[in-house]
Amino acid sequence: MSKFGKVAVMFGGSSAEREISLNSGQAVLAGLQAAGVDAHPFDPAERPLAQLQQEGFDRVFVVLHGRGGEDGTLQGALDHMGLPYTGSGVLGCALAMDKIRTKMLWAGMGLPTAAFEVARQETFQADQVGAMLARLGGKVMVKPANEGSSIGMAIADTESQLQQAIEAALEYDRQILIERFIDGPEYTVSILGEQALPAIEMQTDNQFYDYQAKYQSTATRYLCPCDLSEGEEQQLRALALDAFKAVGASGWGRVDVMRSADGEWQLLEVNTVPGMTQTSLVPKAAQATGLDFQALVVAILAQTLG
């Protein structure tokens, strides 16, 4: 694997998703090394980026989740340094990281996504929540605009719950997405290059697919293949690919979608640096196509060759 040169696997960082990134990064590092790639760990919370050039790295495999790694910041720095890297560029990362602007873009393009409103730290007032809740059907999902891994998310169906949920979410972000609650199953579609991989349905006994269901529970169920007809599966994959490209994302990533009670798809968000442990969703989808973890990380890295 000398064609890749010296590879920095970038993980850790200082976002709220640091611990998850450490797990993903260690798995990617082990996979690349097992494939014979000259890969080395690099935690930007502990080392300055300038050391990438000083130590002769040729390219970067980005496994930094959350702010600083998934929002275009790192990508801009690597562009400036002239170092190729995995995944989306500055625009795709910045847009996808911002759930509010992603939904604005999708809505403007006519792609299906649930109705929503925005609470901003500088203008939010508690007396707004009643009207907001009524406009969104009486039950909502509250999400910090720029956090991942379900951090800061909550369901609300009363004025007091909504006020508390918004105030809690404002601890993580200055802008909060309040989205009409979708009562239906959740799916995710992984993207690899120009291909949408088989959809996965996530089933949990929790109120929703939250942090605990994602990373701590042993009871969460992942269905791949899921119980969609061939036509429904193809429709979902095509929608995910359109949603991914709409925000300028490229290379690899994941699109999260729900299906409402009336059978309509509703786009949730795009992840440009999704989880990459052996049991994460992208590796599960790749495995369904016959691509094991080692082959997957090499395929992602190969996209940096241009």
Location of structure tokens 């995910």: 240
Domain membership of residue 110 (yes or no) is: no
Q: Which residue range(s) make up the domain with 144? A: 115-180
Domain membership of residue 47 (yes or no) is: yes
Instruction: Give the residue from 67, 86, 105 where a domain finishes.
Output: 86
Question: Model pTM?
Answer: 0.90
**Res 181: pLDDT:** 94
**Res 145: pLDDT:** 86
Instruction: Please identify which of the residues 149, 150, 190, 250 carries the catalytic annotation.
Output: 149
Please name every residue paired with 189 in a beta bridge, in sequence order, or none if there are none. 255
Instruction: Please identify which of the residues 15, 17, 21, 70 carries the catalytic annotation.
Output: 17
| 3 state SS of 216 | coil
Domain membership of residue 54 (yes or no) is: yes
* One-letter amino acid for residue 65 of the chain: H
Question: Same structural domain for residues 188 and 293?
Answer: yes
Question: Same structural domain for residues 52 and 120?
Answer: no
Cβ atoms of 118 and 177 within 8 Å: the answer is yes
Question: Same structural domain for residues 45 and 156?
Answer: no
* Per-position b or e across 28-53, b if 16+ CB within 10 A of its CB: bbbbbbebebebebbbbeeeebeebe
Domain membership of residue 106 (yes or no) is: no
Domain membership of residue 94 (yes or no) is: no
Structure tokens at 282: 């992208």
**Res 39: pLDDT:** 98
Question: Same structural domain for residues 175 and 191?
Answer: no
Question: Ramachandran region of residue 189, left (φ > 0), alpha (ψ -120 to 50) or beta?
Answer: beta
Q: How far apart are CA 21 and CA 65, in angstroms?
A: 6
CA 106, chain centre distance (Å): 16
150 is catalytic: no
Q: How many domains does the chain have?
A: 3
Mean pLDDT by 10 residues, the chain (306 residues): 93 90 96 97 96 97 93 96 97 95 96 95 89 95 78 89 92 92 94 97 66 56 90 97 97 96 94 90 96 97 92
* One-letter amino acid for residue 233 of the chain: E
CATH number at residue 219: 3.30.470.20
Structure tokens at 246: 């709409």
**Res 217: pLDDT:** 53
Question: Same structural domain for residues 241 and 296?
Answer: yes
Cβ atoms of 185 and 256 within 8 Å: the answer is no
Instruction: Give the residue from 180, 209, 233 where a domain finishes.
Output: 180
Domain membership of residue 98 (yes or no) is: no
Domain membership of residue 22 (yes or no) is: yes
Q: Could you tell me what percentage of the chain is helix, strand and coil, using 3-state DSSP and rounding each to the nearest 5?
A: 40, 20, 40
Q: Which of 75, 68, 77, 64 is nearest to 21 (CA)?
A: 64
Question: Same structural domain for residues 170 and 196?
Answer: no
Cβ atoms of 62 and 77 within 8 Å: the answer is no
Question: Same structural domain for residues 23 and 80?
Answer: yes
Question: Same structural domain for residues 170 and 205?
Answer: no
CATH number at residue 35: 3.40.50.20
Please report which helix (H) or strand (E) contains residue 18, including its range: helix 18-34
**Res 254: pLDDT:** 97
CATH number at residue 124: 3.30.1490.20
Question: Same structural domain for residues 175 and 201?
Answer: no
Question: Same structural domain for residues 172 and 188?
Answer: no
Residue 269 assigned as binding residue: yes
Residue 256 assigned as binding residue: yes
Question: Same structural domain for residues 130 and 207?
Answer: no
**Res 137: pLDDT:** 94
17 is catalytic: yes
Cβ contacts of 104 within 8 Å, gap of 6 or more = none
**Res 67: pLDDT:** 85
**Res 82: pLDDT:** 97
Instruction: Give the residue from 180, 197, 213 where a domain finishes.
Output: 180
Structure tokens at 304: 């940096």
230 is catalytic: no
Cβ atoms of 107 and 113 within 8 Å: the answer is yes
CA distances from 263 to 184, 186, 197, 241, 289 (A): 9, 12, 21, 19, 26
Q: Which of 91, 70, 84, 87 is nearest to 248 (CA)?
A: 91
Question: Same structural domain for residues 176 and 124?
Answer: yes
Domain membership of residue 55 (yes or no) is: yes
